[in-house]
A = this chain, B = another copy of it.
Amino acid sequence: MNERSAVPPSARTTIRRLPELANHDRATFYSILDESYVCHIAFSANNDTHCIPTAHWRKDDYLYIHGSNGSRLIKSLAAGVQTSVAITLLDGLVLAKSAFSHSMNYRSAVIYGHFEIVQGSAEKLEALDVFMDKIAMGRKEEARRGNSKEIAATNILRISLTEVAVKISDSGPSDKDEDIDLPVWAGILPMKMTRGSPVHNENNKDVIIPDYVKTWAD
């Protein structure tokens, strides 16, 4: 394994359940983050444990999120609380001959660490540009850029992608020998996120439709 691309496990991220599904390739890990739009963040605040979904994006070796000053999530993470961030892509249901052997195909990443605040307007704008590129390449040149008041009202936080557990399941059913000849259908029922026809806003008169809108739908 390439040293640069390796994500060596820590005590927290060593995969104990089905260790054969552990995947330590950094390119695979990053493709999970880049393909998904929403992560779930676990953190503690006021003696409660919370699990909150939010949009994410990646720049280099950091995962970024953003939010407003008033949010409990942002305030707690900005205060430096230990956190765990999970991203999961579901790829299908795996139907086996026996009920017990049913499973799912998925790609997941669980990140551990602490978020840090991205300081400085230039740094914040640069991070937001990467987010806009993820939404649609070229869009950052079209939409009105954030002004100083808007940038100031947006908190951007990032977490280093150093302590992670990546788990991938992408195979057919695995039945016991004694079940293999049962007259039961077995196989994979695939699932994937697809893109539907764009809904045009009414105030788009005289607006040239960008290619990323024209080609959006699958």
Contacts and interface: CB of A to CB of B under 8 A. Distances in A.
A140 interface: yes
Interface in A73-130: 81-86, 88, 90, 92-93, 95-100, 102, 104, 106, 108, 110, 112, 128
Copies in the complex: 2
B51 A40 contact: yes
Contacts of A168: none
B48 A12 contact: yes
Given A110-B52, A184-B207, A143 B98 contact: yes
Interface stretch (A1-9, A22-30, A196-204): A196-204
Interface string A55-70: 1000000000001101
Interface of A: 12, 16-17, 37-38, 40-44, 48-53, 55, 67-68, 70-72, 81-86, 88, 90, 92-93, 95-100, 102, 104, 106, 108, 110, 112, 128, 132, 135-136, 139-140, 142-146, 150, 154, 172-173, 175, 179-201, 203-204, 206-210, 213, 216
Nearest to A154: B100
Contacts of A209: 185
A27 B48 CA distance: 27
A90 to B, nearest CB: 5
